[in-house]
A and B are shown apart, each in its own frame.
Chain A
C-alpha cells in the first residue's frame, strides 16, 4: 500500500482523503436501537400531521374531506407501507426493550428477541403489503 514511512515527523496533509473515523461496528443491539430511533422520529412526524388533519373535522367536514381525498393516490399508498412497517417494527421492538428492562433474563436473550422481532415483523408485512397494494393499485389494472 505505501512505502516505508520511517521518520515522518514533517508536516504533511492526509494521503488518503478520509479524515473521518470509521463507523462503529456495533451488532444487533446497536442496529435495533438505530432503527427504533429512526422509526420513532418518523412516527412522531406522522402523528403530528395526523392529529392536525383529524382536528380539521372540527373546523369543517368539507375541509377534512378535501384533505383526506388528496391522500388517495399511489404515492401515499406506498408511503403507507412504510408507515405500517415503521409502526410495526417500533411496536414489536418496544416489547423487546420492555422485556430487556423488566424480564430477569431479558439481557441474555436480547439477540434472539431481536430476530424474533424481525420474524414477526416479516409475518406482519407479508399479511399487510399484498392486500394493501391491491387496494391502492387495483383500479389501475382491474378497472
Chain B
C-alpha cells in the first residue's frame, strides 16, 4: 500500500495523489556567518497528509542540508520541535500543512524569548532552569502507610490531571508577552509543573507556593491566554496559573 503510493506519487495520472507546491519562508541564522537572522524561502512539493515537520525534512534532505531544527519523536510527545508557524507557537510535527493557508507562504521561525543559537534552535537552558527551580518532584516526609505505595483516590488524581500532560516543549512560555520582555519570569510551563505537585494529595510540601509567591512568580501573569492557545497538549495553562494564585492567597492548595 505505502510503496504503491510512493511509486505513483510523482506520476500525473488521474489516479495519482494530488500534491501541491508550498512556499516556506524560514527565519535563518547561522552563527559566525550571519550577523543577524534573515528570511530565506523554499518551495516544496507536499502531500495533503504532510506536516510542517515533513516540509522541514524535505528542505533539509533535498535542498539545504544546513537547515537546523530540533525534532525527536515526531509524534507530539517529546516536545522538541516547538516553533513559531505563521506567527503562532505550534509543534511542527502536529501541524498539518493543509490546515494552514497554503495560498500564502508559510512563515517558520524559532520560538521567541529564548537565546537564538542557530536557525530554529534556541538555548532551552533558561527555560529548564525555571522548571527545576519549582522543585517538580514529589516531596513527602511521612512514611507511606504499611510501608507500601501512597494511595490516592481517583478524585484526588483528577484534581491535577490536566497539568500532568505537559511535555516541556516551551510553546507556552515562549508565547508569553511577559516572558519576552522579562526573562526572569518563571513562565507558564514552570507554573504548570508546580501546579502538578501543589495539587497532588500525596505531596506534603508548601515550598512551591513560597517560590511562586514572588514578583517574578505567578503575579507576573497578566492573563493574556497566549499560553493556553499555544499549548499543543490542550492544557488550560491560564486556568492552572489562576489556581496557583488562589492557592497562594489561601496559603494552601
Contact = CB atoms under 8 A, between A and B. Distances in A.
A30 B41 contact: no
Interface stretch (B60-68, B94-102, B123-131, B183-191): B60-68
Nearest to B241: A107
B136 interface: no
B223 A16 contact: no
Interface stretch (A21-29, A49-57, A72-80): A21-29
A43 interface: no
B interface majority secondary structure: mixed
Given A19-B37, A33-B222, A107-B236, A24 B105 contact: no
A106 interface: yes
Given A2-B41, A107-B236, A24 B112 contact: yes
Given A23-B87, A24-B88, A101-B242, A7 B65 contact: yes
B224 A26 contact: yes
Interface in B153-181: 175, 177
B184 to A, nearest CB: 19
Interface size class of B (residues with CB under 8 A): 35 or more
Interface residues of A, number: 35
Interface string B66-110: 100000000000000000101110000000000000000101010
Interface string B185-228: 00000000000000000000000000000000000001111101
Given A7-B64, A15-B40, 17 more contacts: A1-B43, A2-B41, A2-B42, A8-B40, A16-B39, A19-B37, A21-B37, A21-B112, A24-B88, A25-B86, A25-B88, A26-B225, A27-B226, A29-B226, A29-B228, A30-B226, A107-B242
